[in-house]
Structure 1
Amino acid sequence: MMAAVAASLARHGSAAAVDLSWHAPNATNINNLTQVMAGSDIYGWVYNNSQVPADEYGVYNWCNMPHVRKTEYKVPSSEYKLQYVEVIHRHHKRTVYASNSFPVESYPWNCDDEDLFYYGQPKAGNKSTPTYWQGYQSPTNPFIPTGFLGTCQFPQITAAGLDDSWQHGRDLYGVYHDLLGFLPDDANEKVSFRVTQNVITSEIAGMVVNGMFNTQNEVPLLIEASGYDSLEPTYSCSVSSNLFNSIKSGRNWTAHLTAATSLYSTLDNISGVSPTDSGFHASFDHYYDNLSARQCHGKPLPCKLVNGVNSTTCVDQSIADEVYRLGNYEYSYIYRDDPRSLAASSTAYGVWIGELTTHIRNFINGTSNVVYRHNVAHDGSISRLLSVLQLDVMVWPGMGSEVVFELYKKDTTTPTTTASVMAPTCNHDNCLRQVIRQSASASAVCPTYTATAVTSIPTFASNCGSAAKVSSACSCVVTPTPTSTAAPTPTPSSASGYYIRVLWKGQVLRSSNPSLGLMDMVPLETVLGYFDGLVGVGASLVVGKCNGSIAV
């Protein structure tokens, strides 16, 4: 069976079957420079809080982006069986990078409400004391750092960012374990976690793992060598670097910097940043990071220092909003609007994409038993991935931004039902989880099941223990009575029976590429054909495309 599937994927997953060309994103206010410069707000997005009202969840929130969780998750129809999941997300909110701080900041930033543990310990033998870093400034040292002073590292994940990370893990577990019964109860050999060389991703991972599995046991974090990592990414790719440099040097790019001359003048005057500082003036990256990091943590926007004291000349919300609009314009331009963005991103992120497709193939052919992989990465990682997927509306991926790849196998023997709706207020105990896993059987029995003293317990609900519990579980699984009508054939269909669903911000991602489109049960052959066509099977084309020996 596995050999037949592998042969089908080899036959139907060819690059010739899919469109490998760049397609422009949607035209919106985000990538319209006239609208960006004339705007007066930030599209109703959130920059000052990790939390939003329940009925607003899904709105862009720079401080804590929407992700997969039970309340909004759409369970596919019962004929689709979840096989494998790979998650990649940006780290959660943090302090500002030191390089993005102003020369002199008007207030300190302290992180005394958390501990950053750094220690090593042999696998066997002597134990280590859990030691942590405590920020310290020597009163004797005459050399004072520029930028923010205080007990934080710049950067480090803040206590609030750690809490967001824990909740992110809890929400993922709530879907893939509690709702779908897919994840194991423990962090065992069927799950894998990976981080980058930047320590802030490890700070996130520990909280995510605990949020998911409620464990303080040791859990390995996979990490590649510095300078070769595919997740961040840090491997050398001159073609990609040259393409991105070209994108950020032409007249179409410099037009927005010229249009923002007055804004730059205002910001430089308040911040004390030199107008010749290339880091702050090549793009709005530094100002964006500085202002948004403050606002996400409830800190005041900066004012101009005069003789070491705050003046009344300050960055107000309208100035900050203009910076945020320009930052999102830049990310849309770099990663989607310029036609060269697809080649630049697919070479820079091609190795990770090749790893993703290898993970899927290895699961299908039975050489890997890992069903869930979790990658903690950066905005540059997510941006390049969204660029390759050709997201229809590109934004700057905020804190915690998440992309999820779900692999499904279609069961053609299962009676067709519409998607089950799992009540989010139900208690997902062992009884309900078993009923969810046996949704096909539940679809046939639940609509007419009535609990009485003599009602038997169906075999598919053996964990329930009583007819009353079966009835309660059935009330949480809303499924119509199966019909004898043949299951509708997806268009297009998968010869292998495998399908991919891709989620962005917790909902199905829409690509501008017509072969991908709304990425809801796209035949696996199409997805593999697209990725393989760009980067090669198992990233086999990436080295050649990066060094220029293979055309991009």
Structure 2
Amino acid sequence: MAPKISALGIVALLSLRVQAQCSSGSDSRVVDLSWHAPNKTNINDLSQVVNGTGIYGFIFNTSITPATSGYRTYNWCNMPHVRRQEYVVPPKEYKLEYVELIHRHHKRTPYASNTFPHETYAWYCDDEALFYYGTPNPDGHAAQVNWQVYTSDSNPLAPEGFNGTCQFPQITAGGLNDSRQHGKDLFGVYHDLLGFLPAKYDADKIRYRVTNNVITSQVAGQIVLGQYADQFTDKPVSVAIQPDSVDSLEPGYTCTNASKTFSSYGVGSKAANWTLHLNESTALFSKLDSVSGVNTSDPDWHNWFDHYFDSLSARLCHDKPLPCQADNSSNCVTQTDADAVFRRGQYEYSFIYRDSPQSLAASTASYGIWMAELASNLRAATNATNKSPVRYRHNVAHDGSMSRLLSILQVDVMVWPGMGSEVVFELYSRDGCYFLRVLWGGQVLRSSNPSLGLMDLIPVQTFLDYVDGLVGVKAAKVPGLCKGE
């Protein structure tokens, strides 16, 4: 007499059979785990970087991309993201099952370490308030405490960087408005257009996550408001956060081997293919140093263009003038100088995260845990017998997060991820099989890796095999990768 199989067992067997069918044929080929070079463009062409002019039509001076430029245009102040006007709905036989997205925070003041020793004008943030307070449970009450920056005439020490009423960094009022619109745009697609997100917030279905850097929480407050204003105007909402020392999103966990690898070919290294662009930029550094007053031997300002890039771009995004020398108002950073800095910054990020053959290994080790979490979330959404109720995860992160992610995905054209830059993972089902679409800046991402290619409804198992091959299931390989084993 044949053994009886429970209804749950039948579902499991059918699920395994469907998975086998979905994995059969061309989808079962071995996934390529090797590094593949990005496209050759002006961004990573050193001759164009050093001798060129302008900045490839990129925008650095407004959050509003002009209609004449087209929404897909790179806008450092407010990068393109998923919104209804450009969104392409997949064929009707595909059903959206799960969405996970990650984006950089929106525009902010520069970090204090990226301001000049003596700034010639102040920066005021009186058009916003940043709240910091706690509430005991279950009482749940508190005065809404917000910080007001001031300086005392009894304090003889000058603050680092700008005078005024801002924190360095903090998300500016403009950045908060951009964040809210970002949330509205996403809701306009995933609720209004697709009917995927519920009309009312449901904590069992929707999760938000931030890093330990408070600027991501400042953004999250506006993202949530943009999506669920009726429920959360001046009301609390919980967001997930991992302990700083093991945070996979920022990332915050220690990965010694990844740091060594990055520094062996990138910032601070003596590698010829890194120092070449710095050696070709001595005149530019000399001009910038004469204006800023930065010590010409300060490595943080001269091992790469990160500090000057942040300092200049933050001003332009907030309609502030390019700086002049404190004691010589005729010696100023020109737009030509700023463009030269921006070209070099783009070149550096392309080199660090894509052009160097070592970039994939360094990014995999230092961002592998978040990739493994993403893979686990996708698996949970495809589990026929124990499917996760969560259908939408929203991660607010940083440029270092986005750069490593794009490095692992091996995006075909690498740029420095600007403010609000976004990658979306959409999981679809069709006839019992699952497919993944990846959107970068609202458009389908193209990978240089032949196994991934144009990531437009590829079998999700291909992506899972790729992630598992690099970092292991549940990031089992990452501890060894970080130790150099």
Deviation of 1:136 after TM superposition, in Å, equals 1.1
Deviation of 1:247 after TM superposition, in Å, equals 1.6
Alignment of 1:231 with 2:249, yes or no, is yes
Which of residues 442, 448, 451 is equivalent to 1:512?
A: 448
SS at match of 1:62: coil
For structure 2, the residue ranges without an aligned partner over 5 or more in a row are 1-10
Deviation of 1:541 after TM superposition, in Å, equals 1.1
Per-residue CA deviations over 1:190-217 (Å, capped at 9, x if unaligned) read 0000000000000000000000111323
Contact 1:16 1:529 in 2 (8 A): no
Residue in structure 2 matched with residue 465 of structure 1 by the alignment? none
Residue in structure 2 matched with residue 376 of structure 1 by the alignment? 396
**124-133 vs 113-122, which deviates more?**
124-133
SS at match of 1:30: helix
Residues 150, 164 of structure 1: CA spacing in aligned structure 2 closer, same or farther, 3 A cutoff? same
* RMSD of equivalent CA atoms: 1.6
Residue in structure 1 matched with residue 150 of structure 2 by the alignment? 136
Residue in structure 1 matched with residue 39 of structure 2 by the alignment? 26
Residue in structure 1 matched with residue 420 of structure 2 by the alignment? 400
Per-residue CA deviations over 1:294-317 (Å, capped at 9, x if unaligned) read 0000000001111xxx51111010
Residues 2, 36 of structure 1: CA spacing in aligned structure 2 closer, same or farther, 3 A cutoff? farther
Whole-angstrom distance in 2 between the partners of 1:387 and 1:9? 29
Per-residue CA deviations over 1:389-416 (Å, capped at 9, x if unaligned) read 00000000000000000000014xxxxx
Whole-angstrom distance in 2 between the partners of 1:9 and 1:198? 40
Alignment of 1:46 with 2:46, yes or no, is no
Whole-angstrom distance in 2 between the partners of 1:204 and 1:6? 41
Alignment of 1:204 with 2:224, yes or no, is no
Residue in structure 2 matched with residue 272 of structure 1 by the alignment? 293
Aligned pairs for 1:311-330 (under 5 A) are: 311-330=329-348
For these two proteins, the number of residue pairs brought into alignment is: 462
Which of residues 179, 182, 185 is equivalent to 1:171?
A: 185
Whole-angstrom distance in 2 between the partners of 1:201 and 1:352? 17
Contact 1:15 1:530 in 2 (8 A): no
Aligned pairs for 1:258-407 (under 5 A) are: 258-306=279-327, 310-365=328-383, 366-407=386-427
Residues 15, 317 of structure 1: CA spacing in aligned structure 2 closer, same or farther, 3 A cutoff? farther
Contact 2:18 2:433 in 1 (8 A): no
Deviation of 1:127 after TM superposition, in Å, equals 1.6
Residues 126, 203 of structure 1: CA spacing in aligned structure 2 closer, same or farther, 3 A cutoff? closer
Contact 1:2 1:364 in 2 (8 A): no
Residue in structure 2 matched with residue 478 of structure 1 by the alignment? none
Contact 1:9 1:525 in 2 (8 A): no
What is the aligned-residue identity percentage?
59
Residues 41, 126 of structure 1: CA spacing in aligned structure 2 closer, same or farther, 3 A cutoff? closer
Whole-angstrom distance in 2 between the partners of 1:105 and 1:47? 21
Deviation of 1:187 after TM superposition, in Å, equals 2.0
Whole-angstrom distance in 1 between the partners of 2:217 and 2:34? 36
Whole-angstrom distance in 2 between the partners of 1:357 and 1:7? 21
Residues 15, 152 of structure 1: CA spacing in aligned structure 2 closer, same or farther, 3 A cutoff? farther
Alignment of 1:536 with 2:477, yes or no, is no
Per-residue CA deviations over 1:161-185 (Å, capped at 9, x if unaligned) read 0000000000000000000000011
Deviation of 1:123 after TM superposition, in Å, equals 2.3
Whole-angstrom distance in 2 between the partners of 1:535 and 1:140? 55
Residues 16, 342 of structure 1: CA spacing in aligned structure 2 closer, same or farther, 3 A cutoff? farther
Amino acid aligned to 1:373: R
Deviation of 1:54 after TM superposition, in Å, equals 3.5
For structure 1, the residue ranges without an aligned partner over 5 or more in a row are 412-495
Residue in structure 2 matched with residue 115 of structure 1 by the alignment? 129
Contact 1:516 1:526 in 2 (8 A): yes
Residues 3, 278 of structure 1: CA spacing in aligned structure 2 closer, same or farther, 3 A cutoff? farther
TM-score (structure 1 length as normaliser): 0.82
Deviation of 1:30 after TM superposition, in Å, equals 0.3
Contact 1:303 1:315 in 2 (8 A): yes
Which of residues 230, 236, 241 is equivalent to 1:218?
A: 236
Deviation of 1:5 after TM superposition, in Å, equals 3.8
Alignment of 1:246 with 2:264, yes or no, is yes
Per-residue CA deviations over 1:296-340 (Å, capped at 9, x if unaligned) read 00000001111xxx5111101000000000000000000000000
Whole-angstrom distance in 2 between the partners of 1:9 and 1:239? 37
Higher Rg:
1
Deviation of 1:525 after TM superposition, in Å, equals 1.1
